[in-house]
Every structure is written in C-alpha cells, then in structure tokens.
Chain A
Amino acid sequence: MPTISSPPKERTPGLGGGGPGKIPSRRGYGGGDDGDRRRPEKFLSYQSRLRRYRIGVALFSVCVSMLFLGIASVYVARQRIPYYDQNTQAFMSTWKAIHLPYIQLWLNSLLIVAGSITLELARRGQIKKAEFASMGILPPSLEREVPWLSITLLLGAGFLAGQLLVWNNLRHQGVYLRANASGAFFYTLTGLHAIHLVGGMAVLVYALLGSWLRRRFESQQIAVDATGWYWHFMGFLWFCIFGLLHFSRA
C-alpha cells in the first residue's frame, strides 16, 4: 500500500530542475464549501476550512488596500498639481482646505476600535464553543454569556451614524462632493470605507441569525472569525484614512 512516509527518490534539485521541495504535512480534504448540509464533519476539515477563509479575508483585505491606495495616491498627487491661473498669470493651488471635525472623528475612531475589541471577544468565545461542537457535544449555554456580537453590531452602527454626523458637519461648512477637491476626496474615502464596513456587518448579521437560519455552527464561527480579522483591518484602514486626511489637509 503506497504511503507518503518515505521521501520519494528524486534527484537533488538543481537550479535547472524541479525538486521535491516541501511536502505539505496536512492533507487538504478535497476543499470546497463542505456546506451546511447537516452532515457530521471531521475536525480536520473544519480547521482547514477556517484557515482558507482567513486567507480569503486576508487577500480581500489586500484588494481593498489597493483600492484605497489608488485613491490615496490620486489624492496626494492632485494636491500638488498647480493650476495656471489666467487672471493672475501665476501658478496657484485650487486646494481648499477643509476643517475636519476632530471630536466627532475621534469619537468614531473610538467606536470602531471598541467594535474591534468586542468582536475579538466574540471570536474567541466562539472558538471555545467550536471546540465543543467539533467533539460532537452541543456547546454549553453559559449563563451570563455576553452577546459580544450584538454589541459589535451596535458599535458599528454607531460608527456609521457618527460618519453621517461628520458628513453633516462638512455640509454645513459648504463642502460637497462637487466643486471642492478636498471635499471630493473626503467623501469618497470615508464613503467607501463605510460601504466596506457595512459589508462586514452584513456578514456579522448572517452569523448572528445563523442558528435561526439553520446554518451549521461552524459556518457561523468561521463567519465571525473572518469578519473579526476583516474588522481589525477596517479599523487599521480607518486610521490610515484619518491620518491621510489630517496630514495632507493643507
């Protein structure tokens, strides 16, 4: 019976040829969305699935980073473009600085960081539950279990509400999307960030309602885990945007 314990006999890898390289010690169990079909699952499969989703979220975060980097680079370049004004025959900048409502922005930052913390607590709690579930034991319902997930959703909603307040503040300053370059970038960057956050919150809602929707517990746990990492990334991205808007405002 063929085994994979003995190393295969092959030439030592040289620059020209392909060598055996590292042989994966785990077994990928045929992949796929093992699905919420209420079949008994092996522990290994769940672990590999979790890792895959984490990698998927990491890759998606890279994609989102590139999106924001693209806009940020246009932002930075655009600021430095001089505009040759016909009337004064001189190079001017059309950049109108806007007054950022720092208090509201810091409050929002606090909310998103708090959301990160509560979601992390939720994530770790769920991992403990998942260990029970994988052994076939129903996760014990602990008394006084804090609904971290719901709190996270509230905090996220709070952040979004706070962003709306910031936008309102800018509107009162007369800064809109049109006719004001710095305003355009502000709305675009924060708006995109908010949209992506809403996407993450939608996945959390799925996790929250999962048992009601008859989804397997592990799928919910993976959703919370993936969103946890995603939320941390969104928080980090928020600070990058905040920093960019602050340091490049003049």
Chain B
Amino acid sequence: MAVALRLALLLVAAACACLFLAHPVWFPDGVSAQSAAIDHQFAIAFWILGGLFLAAHAVLAVCLMRSRRSGKPRNSYGDWRMEAAWTLAIAALFFGFNVAGVRIWSKMKFQQPESNAIQVEVTGVQFQWYFRYAGPDGVFGHVDAQRFARPQEGNPLGLDPGDSDGKDDIVSTVLVLPVGRDVDLTLRSQDVIHSLFIPAMRFKQDAVPGMSIHAHFRPIKTGAYEISCAELCGIGHYRMRAVAQVVSDEEFKRWLKAREVQK
C-alpha cells in the first residue's frame, strides 16, 4: 500500500502536468495590447506553480517512505530553523510573483486611454448586449430606460426622443472596433449584474446596474472575437453573447457612415 500510494501520487502529478502540457483546450490567441503581458504572467505562474506542484508531490511521496527505525527521530517535534527557512522562501516567492503582476493591473486600471480612443457605451440587458456609439456629434444622448425603452420598436436602450444629442447615436448588437486604437467602454446595465467578457482581449468587466464603469483596451489584430456574459444574470445567461468585430480603420469609418445614413 505504501508503494502504491507513493506511486499514485507521482503518477497523478505527472498526469496533471502532461495534461497541462498537452492542453486540449487553451487560452485563445491574445489580440489586445495587454494580452502579451498578461499571457506572460500566466506563463510564469504556470511554470512556478506547476513546478511547486510537482515538487510538492515528489516530496510527499518521499516522506511516505516507511521508516524502520525505532524510537523518535531527531527533531521530531520541530525545527525552527527549517520552519523559518521554508516560510521565508515561500513568502519571497509568492510576494515576488504578486508584485510582478501589480504593474499589469496598474496599466489596466490607472492608465487613461488615449485621447483618440473610441467611446462605446455597453449596456447589458437580459439577455442581450447593446453597444452604443456617439455618432458624428461625439455626444451620447440621454437615456432613460424606464420611460423610453421599447425593444420591440427599435429603442431597447430607452433613448430620449426629445434629446437631439441622441438622434445620431448608433446602437448595435455587434461591437465594431478599429484595430490599433484604444476603446474606452462605459459599462451599464438595465436590470441585473452582467459581465462583458472578451477572452481574446483578456478583458472582463462587470456591468453593474446603477453604475457607469469605465474600462479600456486596445485590439491589435483584426478578426471576429466572441463575447460572452460572465456574471449569472438569469435563465438566458448562457446565450448572452455578442461579437467583437475588429476591422481596419477605413472599414470602421465606412461602417459608421453606413449606420449614420440608416438613421
């Protein structure tokens, strides 16, 4: 039984490591400016934690060797030098690792988006994402969902018909973005908490009703990237999806113009 247990620990640890190395599913390719740093941090994390995982299981397997010695081994009550050593080692490792991630978080949250960032207002509704662009005047119109929202009549966000700023606002169910420019999202919700999750952009932010939360990122590659909802919002949570369509700058301008003309 001793041998079986030790072997099992090693095999299980090895199997897990192999699974991670083989990764039948994995992170999607990162296509935002921040994804490289985040993926790098993930890689460091997996190597360190993976190494610790394997080492710990190897040590555990070694410790399970049954001793034939009689009596109490030396230091059986404890050894404060060893305690101090491994405590300091672990603390240094984990805190060092933590500090490395701090810079990425600062960049994500405390760096302002560029001045030419696209402003998009994202509204989560049970069970649909809406993306609003300000239109040529660059000003978002007044929205009051309780008074004006009429999803059946093409006004799901509740744009105030009396507000001239809102007349040119473009509401889309596709998040169209130009490549290489920051996009400053303002996340809102009409009903319950939703969460805008774009895995390819390594982006996630909760859309909390009663709050307008700003978050930004910069797509660096064209393509269509799926958006999902990452906060339980009701029975349709699983199908609350959208697409982030990243296109060239000209394509983006063309799309905007086409939508403006439609209005």
Contacts and interface: CB of A to CB of B under 8 A. Distances in A.
B143 A16 contact: no
Interface string A5-27: 00000010011111000000000
Interface in A17-39: 17-18
A83 B212 CA distance: 10
Nearest to A16: B78
B143 A11 contact: no
Interface string B63-106: 00000000000010111100100000000000000000000000
A10 to B, nearest CB: 10
A17 B80 CA distance: 9
Nearest to A17: B77
Nearest to B147: A86
B142 A89 contact: yes
Nearest to A19: B77
A84 interface: yes
A15 B83 CA distance: 9
A84 B186 CA distance: 14
A15 B78 contact: yes
B160 to A, nearest CB: 8
A67 B152 CA distance: 46
A144 to B, nearest CB: 64
A52 B143 CA distance: 61
Contacts, number: 23
B17 to A, nearest CB: 33
A16 B78 CA distance: 4
A17 B76 CA distance: 9
Contact of B77 (A16, A86, A87): A16
A18 B143 contact: no
Nearest to B79: A16
A86 to B, nearest CB: 5
Which secondary structure characterizes the binding site on chain B? loop
Contact of B80 (A14, A18, A84, A86): A14
Given A14-B77, A15-B83, A84 B212 contact: yes
Contacts of B212: 84
B143 A86 contact: yes
A84 B142 CA distance: 12
B77 A11 contact: yes
A127 B83 CA distance: 51
**Which interface residue of A15, A18, A83, A89 has the most chain B CB atoms within 10 A?**
A15
A156 B144 CA distance: 50
A16 B75 contact: yes
B138 interface: no
B246 to A, nearest CB: 30
Contacts of B77: 11, 14, 16-18
A120 to B, nearest CB: 48
Interface string B181-220: 0000000000000000000000000000010100000000
Nearest to A86: B144
Nearest to A89: B142
Contacts of A16: 75, 77-80, 83
Contacts of B143: 86
Contacts of A17: 77-78
A30 to B, nearest CB: 31
Contacts of A86: 142-144
B164 to A, nearest CB: 14
A18 B78 CA distance: 9
Contacts of A15: 78, 80, 83
Given A16-B75, A89-B142, A83 B210 contact: yes
Contacts of A11: 77
Interface in A83-100: 83-84, 86-87, 89
Nearest to B75: A16
A6 B252 CA distance: 89
Nearest to A11: B77
Contacts of A14: 77-78, 80
A86 B142 CA distance: 7
B84 to A, nearest CB: 9
Contacts of B78: 14-17
A180 B225 CA distance: 44
Nearest to A15: B80
Interface of A: 11, 14-18, 83-84, 86-87, 89
Given A11-B77, A15-B83, A86-B143, 10 more contacts: A14-B78, A14-B80, A16-B78, A16-B80, A16-B83, A17-B77, A17-B78, A83-B210, A86-B142, A89-B142
Nearest 9 Cβ contacts at the A-B interface? A16-B78, A17-B77, A15-B80, A86-B144, A17-B78, A16-B77, A16-B80, A16-B79, A86-B142
8 contacts: A14-B78, A15-B80, A16-B75, A16-B80, A17-B77, A83-B210, A84-B212, A89-B142
